[in-house]
Amino acid sequence: METTKEGWFATEFVHLLMIKIAILVPESCVMQAIADPRYLFSAVNQFLQAQGRDAIFDVKLVGAAPQVALQFGSFIVQTEKLLSDSATYDLVIIPALFGNMREAIKLNERMVPWIQAQHEKGSSVASLCVGAFLLGATGLLNGKKCSTHWGFYQEFRELYPEVTIVDGSIITEEGSVYSSGGANSYWNLLLYLVEKYVGRDLAILASKYFAIDIDRDSQAAFALFQGQKDHGDAAVLEAQQIIEKNVGEKLSVDELADKVAIGRRSFERRFKAATNNSVLEYMQRVRIESAKRQFESSRKNINEVMYEVGYTDTKAFRTTFKKITGLTPVEYRNKYAQA
């Protein structure tokens, strides 16, 4: 890989400094989301030393107490630094929370002003998966974009209406604030951070070592579209049920509006407000979700599935399917079909 003079200088300069990383240890969080970043940055230090270079990452586990019990007391994490210590970090990592998000935020409310203070001092902040809920509580995402687990989009939007979720995205960068998509996709954010701090060559080496696809940029293929139903608008809910019961039918927006006895303009406005999708977007997502399930569980060919979910144009079906899942119908079937 060709390296510019500026890129070489930046990489060499950063090696003169230790990058201080705080991995927070919140109560009610996912233990792996603490252990994995620690493992990764420690491994990169070893890679550097094997090349005759200095280790660069100084990683500390930071918590509100010396010991934090996780997963109903099954694991005890020993922290190395406390929130009350005066240390300042270059990067703060917020691991994925566990269980009820609102309760987890309340349990860890002491971390919110600490994260804010670190950011004010110049620290970058990165949330892993649903760690975005604790990051959201700091206000650092207000007016900005964010990634999180696809299964928590609706709850996140309800809790943080001033934040824009990037649908399907694995990594979102907003200045010095980073967030990642669902579950193991946080590895892609960690690799991204390694690349920013020590260069592409070490990030590629780490991706090979941990068997992670370094350039995966979408979690769309893993998402299950279940429809946003907890909105309290009975007419919109009725329309959703009609769409889902008639996947293969050619329903127009006018027909749906008539069925629920609402004027078209008012219907479209209420539907968007309730589901965060336009009526047509919702129809597309329901149809593609049905197609996904059929590719996973049946031996039907592409055209059979296409017709059953209401498409007659192969190009339109393929384009919509890839837009929503990130894969073509053939790629999806080959990847997820039962053997």
3-state secondary structure string across 221-236: HHCCCCCCCCCCCHHH
Round the CA-based radius of gyration of the chain to a whole number and report it: 23
pLDDT band at 52 (very low <50, low <70, confident <90, very high): very high
pLDDT band at 216 (very low <50, low <70, confident <90, very high): low
pLDDT band at 219 (very low <50, low <70, confident <90, very high): low
| pTM, 2 dp | 0.66
Stronger pLDDT, 145 or 326, i.e. the higher one: 145
Digit-coded pLDDT (tens) for 162-213: 999 887 778 888 989 999 987 788 898 999 899 889 988 898 899 889 888 7
Tokens of 58: 């100084």
Q: Tell me: pLDDT of 16 over 70.
A: no
pLDDT band at 231 (very low <50, low <70, confident <90, very high): confident
**Predicted local distance difference test score (pLDDT) of residue 325:** 82
| Residues 6 or more apart in contact with residue 312 via CB below 8 angstroms | 306
Q: Among 271, 206, 208, which residue's Cα sits nearest to residue 243?
A: 271
Alpha helices for 51-185 (secondary structure H): 101-107, 111-120, 132-137, 153-159
| For residues 50-61, average pLDDT | 94
In the block, tokens 């099954």 appear at: 74
pLDDT band at 142 (very low <50, low <70, confident <90, very high): very high
| Beta strand pairing call for 75-78 and 67-70 | antiparallel
Q: Tell me: pLDDT of 8 over 90.
A: no
**Predicted local distance difference test score (pLDDT) of residue 213:** 77
Q: Among 152, 277, 226, 225, which residue's Cα sits nearest to residue 135?
A: 152
| For residues 234-260, average pLDDT | 91
**Predicted local distance difference test score (pLDDT) of residue 6:** 42
**Predicted local distance difference test score (pLDDT) of residue 143:** 94
Question: Under a CB-based contact definition with an 8 Å cutoff, are residues 186 and 166 in contact?
Answer: no
pLDDT band at 1 (very low <50, low <70, confident <90, very high): very low
Q: Tell me: pLDDT of 2 over 50.
A: no
In the block, tokens 């694995």 appear at: 170
* Side-chain-side CA neighbours of residue 150 (13 Å): 18
Give the C-alpha separation, 240 to 228, whole Å: 9
Alpha helices for 121-263 (secondary structure H): 132-137, 153-159, 186-198, 200-209, 234-245, 253-259
Q: Tell me: pLDDT of 15 over 60.
A: no
**Predicted local distance difference test score (pLDDT) of residue 12:** 43
**Predicted local distance difference test score (pLDDT) of residue 123:** 95
Mean pLDDT across the chain? 87
Q: Tell me: pLDDT of 90 over 70.
A: yes
**Predicted local distance difference test score (pLDDT) of residue 59:** 97
pLDDT band at 17 (very low <50, low <70, confident <90, very high): confident
pLDDT band at 215 (very low <50, low <70, confident <90, very high): low
Question: Under a CB-based contact definition with an 8 Å cutoff, are residues 107 and 26 in contact?
Answer: yes
Q: Among 132, 87, 95, which residue's Cα sits nearest to residue 114?
A: 87
Give the C-alpha separation, 41 to 198, whole Å: 11
Report helix angle 186-198 to 200-209, nearest 10.
140
Percent of the chain with pLDDT strictly greater than 70 = 90
| Residues 6 or more apart in contact with residue 280 via CB below 8 angstroms | 253
